Amino acid sequence: MSKQTPHRGTDEAFLQLMAVSGSSVLKLFGVPPQKANKYHFRAVVFKEKRIEPDVEGIPMLESEEGRVFIEFQGYTDKFIRYRLMTEVLQACQHEQYEGKVFAGIVYTDKAFQKAALSINSFSETEDCQFKACFQEIVLTDYTEKQLQNIDPKLVVLAPFTLPSKVDRITLLEKSQQWYKTVNKLFSTAQQQSILNILGLFILNRFRDVSDKEVMAMLHFDLMDTVAGRQVYEKGLIEDARNMLTIALEERFEMVPSQIIAQIRAITRHDVLESLFKYALRCPGISGFNEMLSKKRLIITLEERFGHVPSLTVDQIRAINHQEVLDNLLKQAIECPDLKSFKKILSKAMA
């Protein structure tokens, strides 16, 4: 069986870093070591629905002193600040939490921070509390030495302190140093997880580096580890979502935020690939939205009831009214069984 090229995204890798060494990330935001070491990683779980595409809950760090929500941004997302604010509010409301909250964003490059829209919906309101309500850090503003002065374990973020076009010899030498540092600082049980994360960060930062080169640099194959394979699989989804969003923005410039949110909720690579192909040829954004609604409807039925007959799929594909599709999606979520949905579908087509 041939090796697959690992994904170059960062979302899953950062979640792993938060779980293994979240206190180090907190120190990056200026939290004193004695306080940072008291925090532990967990997720606010929403059993009734999925809040994020890749996790059944909102990840955070928690201690008796409060809760910390941090987003790690390794690609362009104009609504990253809105998304973080939404996560904080949802998590607190869901668990009726009234204590202290800190929120922050770690950008891997200055360009991603510049692309993020400011939260200005309430800009004309006096004493608006949505302004400057979380802290932001750009890793390219730091040197490796500065990171290690904050916490030596932040060596895992060192790839982002180098220019993205660094020469191969320098990168190889640096990677060997990082490898030795990881083995020195982390326990045997943690080393493989940290090397997984470091390898994925190297792939994200240096786009012309291959997975084989990472193997040579860090002395292991990402695809030989369970965590590496899991990140790879989820990474494919992240890349597909990004490519689809870019294609839509190139063709139609303004893409409604609700369409982007629906795209982010899709966790199947084959569906995203199909939508990408359709995005290249569809006549308008409304036509794409209809196709997106059909895909989401079929996925919902499959997730709830397993196999969906081809006749039912064909009937859904034949519907060309957005309002009808929206109503059917609502019914698909609420109806007790597939037989009940088929009756609703037949009435909608009559």
Cα 67 from Cα 20, distance rounded (Å): 17
User: Is pTM, for the whole model, over 0.85?
Assistant: no
User: What are the structural domain ranges in the chain?
Assistant: 11-228, 239-349
Cα 195 from Cα 201, distance rounded (Å): 10
| Under 8 Å between Cβ of 229 and 223 | yes
Cα 88 from Cα 345, distance rounded (Å): 38
Of 63, 90, 74, 56, residue with least CA distance to 11: 74
Cα 38 from Cα 63, distance rounded (Å): 6
Rg (CA), the chain: 22
The single-letter code of the amino acid at 98 is E
**Dihedral of the alpha carbons of 249, 51, 101, 146, in degrees to the nearest 10:** -50
pLDDT score for 342: 92
CA angle, 193 then 194 then 196, to 5°: 65
pLDDT score for 250: 87
pLDDT score for 121: 57
pLDDT by residue for the chain (350 residues), tens digit each? Answer: 334 333 445 677 888 888 888 999 999 999 999 999 999 988 766 554 444 434 445 788 999 889 999 999 988 888 888 889 888 988 899 889 999 899 999 999 999 999 998 876 555 555 555 555 689 999 999 999 999 999 999 999 999 999 988 888 888 889 889 999 999 999 988 888 898 889 888 888 887 777 777 777 776 555 555 545 555 666 678 778 888 988 898 888 888 888 988 998 888 888 999 999 999 989 899 999 999 999 999 999 998 998 899 999 999 999 989 999 999 999 999 999 999 999 999 988 87
The 3-state secondary structure of 191-243 reads: HHHHHHHHHHHHHHHCCCCCHHHHHHHHCCCHHHCHHHHHHHHHHHHHHHHHH
Of 128, 46, 50, 35, residue with least CA distance to 85: 128
Whole-Å CA distances, 301 to 67, 307, 334: 36, 8, 11
